[in-house]
Amino acid sequence: MLFNSIEFLLFLPTVFFLYWFVFKNQLRAQNVLLLVASYIFYGWWDWRFLSLIIASTFLDYFIAIQLGKTDIAKKRKFLLGISLVGNLGMLGFFKYYNFFVASWIEAWSSVGITMEASTLNIILPVGISFYTFQTLSYTIDVYRKEMQPTKSFIDFAAFVTFFPQLVAGPIERASHLLPQFYKKRAFDYQNAVDGVKLIIWGMFKKVVVADNCAFFVNKIFENPEAYSSGELFVGMVFFAFQIYGDFSGYSDMAIGISKLFGFDLMVNFKFPYFSRDIAEFWRRWHISLSTWFRDYIYIPLGGSKGSQWFQIRNVMIIFLVSGFWHGANWTYVVWGLFHALLFLPLLLFNLNRSHLITKSYGWLDFAKIGVTFLVVCIGWVFFRADSISDAFQYLAHMFELKSLGLSLFYKTNANLMIFGLSVLAVGILSLQELFWVIKKRELPEVSAFGALLLVLLIFFMGSFKNQMDFIYFQF
């Protein structure tokens, strides 16, 4: 069920009405309602995959209960191992089985040995990477004795499946979201208004910015050889705004919808395209994932302690794993490696934390923002391309600079109109976020007039005929 669908337009008010009017002040009933609603929301794509999320829920609920009953180190490690193998095993099979089989065959073929192996027609369950990491955070935190195991299966299941952020994040920590299911929630009018404004802003980023840009992005990346260097450059930049508008738009809507039900989700994006180096970019981009890797992999590996070689190793592991998390394709691994190579010089020269505090922005800051945005865009080419060779061909053709023509964007009246809408949408987004960055905001703060204006922009500029699934659903 998409946030920008008719089905969800009917689903959300129905759940909201039942939650606040039928089950008002009934905490248990509200949590059961959220659980049932979340199963309906998730099962809307394919009800068969509910079995996976239910299995993961049962596994980690009972593992945590057993962890709470023993202090024996070996037993605790064994129980944690069961959780890791069970959850990562399901994720690995559904997401990476065919990838590993194909890579194995290709590796032997490269040395002249022909092998045959069967692949399976495996459908990737929506959001499996997100809810797997969310439920694992619970088991790991209980293992570390950073939180007590919950006795309520309903509360835990509602935490795992909470529909606003179930399929594309933010990836919530159990220590932050789960306790919110224990407490009675009173309707807060201002909180709900703020939530609606965030939903509108997120919808603008999705249907006006991302989906309009997607029209040209899909054309250009499908056949880059047919387009000029100028058109390839615009396609690259449009994809940067497509993926940002799509993914951060979903996060904004998820946070806004959660506010309607009295829940607080973590901030997942802090205007990342206004970063002055790659380190700052990763403090602003997909924060719930980057902090998950930091706390559960990077720090246990030793973090930035130890020799430089250990630091380099840890950074490389984190970025490569981050790339691989995104999908079963070597392009994602190269994308992660690309960011690791950009990050390492900052780490080695102790510059990776140089932009933690900003009093004001000067011309040098904006020059750094421009350079950082350009290199991030180059990385996005690997993320979007079907193969590594396609990505290199795209970049090689773009940097040939043989032709800077932009005829694609005005060859038909329809193309000219969509191009104009895309440029206008990107401009509105960028100027608004620039204002919030200068004002040191962490979340979008939309006024009542601004929300009304955004609704009009969505209505008149939204790409409803070119409606696209959220990109991160595939991860």
Question: Is 90 exceeded by the pLDDT of residue 372?
Answer: yes
Provide the 10 A C-beta neighbour count for residue 219: 16
Mean model confidence pLDDT for the chain: 91
What is the pLDDT at residue 38?
97
Helices 6-17 and 27-43, axial angle in degrees (round to 10): 170
In three-state form (DSSP H/G/I as H, E/B as E, the rest C), the secondary structure along 449-464 is HHHHHHHHHHHHHCCC
> Which residue numbers are catalytic?
326
Express the helix, strand and coil content of the chain in percent, nearest 5 each: 70, 0, 30
Phi/psi of residue 353, each to 5°?
Answer: -125, 30
Q: Judge contact between 335 and 382, C-beta under 8 A.
A: yes
What is the pLDDT at residue 446?
92
Convert the pLDDT of each residue in 74-103 to its tens digit.
999 999 999 999 999 999 888 888 777 766
What is the pLDDT at residue 227?
95
What is the pLDDT at residue 47?
87
What is the pLDDT at residue 117?
59
The pTM (predicted TM-score) of the whole model is: 0.93
Helices (H), 295-412: 299-301, 308-326, 330-348, 363-384, 388-400
Convert the pLDDT of each residue in 192-211 to its tens digit.
999 999 999 999 999 999 99
What is the pLDDT at residue 98?
76
What is the pLDDT at residue 37?
97
Question: Is 80 exceeded by the pLDDT of residue 120?
Answer: no
Question: Is 70 exceeded by the pLDDT of residue 226?
Answer: yes
What is the pLDDT at residue 474?
58
Report which of residues 353 and 233 the model is more confident about. Answer: 233
Q: What region does 286 belong to: left with phi over 0, alpha with psi -120 to 50, or beta?
A: left
Helices (H), 22-152: 27-43, 50-67, 73-109, 128-143
Separation CA 23–CA 37 (nearest Å): 14
Report the run of H or E that residue 448 belongs to, with start and end: helix 448-461
What is the pLDDT at residue 471?
61
Q: Judge contact between 156 and 134, C-beta under 8 A.
A: no
Question: Is 80 exceeded by the pLDDT of residue 17?
Answer: yes
- What letter represents residue 372's amino acid? T
- What's the pLDDT band for 241 if we cut at 50, 70, 90? very high
Question: Is 60 exceeded by the pLDDT of residue 475?
Answer: no
What is the pLDDT at residue 3?
82
Separation CA 5–CA 203 (nearest Å): 11
DSSP characters over 42-76: HHTT-GGGHHHHHHHHHHHHHHHHHHTT---HHHH
Q: What region does 440 belong to: left with phi over 0, alpha with psi -120 to 50, or beta?
A: left
- Give the residue among 296, 27, 89 at the shortest CA–CA distance from 173: 296
Convert the pLDDT of each residue in 267-302 to its tens digit.
999 999 999 999 999 999 999 999 999 999 999 998
Report which of residues 255 and 470 the model is more confident about. Answer: 255
Convert the pLDDT of each residue in 164-189 to its tens digit.
999 887 999 999 999 999 999 999 99
Q: Of the given ranges (42-46, 268-272, 299-303, 401-405), which has the lowest mean pLDDT?
A: 401-405
Q: Would you mind telling me the total number of residues written for the chain in this entry?
A: 475
Average pLDDT over residues 388-404: 93
What is the pLDDT at residue 466?
61
- Give the residue among 447, 278, 465 at the shortest CA–CA distance from 376: 278
Based on DSSP, count helices (H) and strands (E) in the chain, helices before strands.
19, 0
Separation CA 301–CA 323 (nearest Å): 18
Average pLDDT over residues 225-237: 96
| Residue 225 CB contacts under 8 Å (≥ 6 apart), including other chains | 393, 397
DSSP characters over 256-277: HHHHHTT-------S-GGG-SS
| Residue 405 CB contacts under 8 Å (≥ 6 apart), including other chains | 228, 230, 231
Q: Which residue has the tokens 């840009």?
A: 213
End-to-end CA distance of the chain: 16
Report which of residues 154 and 307 the model is more confident about. Answer: 154
On the CB side of 24, CA atoms within 13 Å amount to: 7
Question: DSSP state, 403?
Answer: -
Supply 145's token pair: 């004795």
> b/e for 441-452, b at 16 or more Cβ within 10 A?
eeebebeeeebe
- What letter represents residue 22's amino acid? V
What is the pLDDT at residue 360?
79
Question: Is 90 exceeded by the pLDDT of residue 260?
Answer: yes
| Residue 17 CB contacts under 8 Å (≥ 6 apart), including other chains | none
Question: Is 80 exceeded by the pLDDT of residue 119?
Answer: no
Convert the pLDDT of each residue in 426-442 to its tens digit.
999 999 999 999 988 88
Q: Which residue has the tokens 């050889």?
A: 225
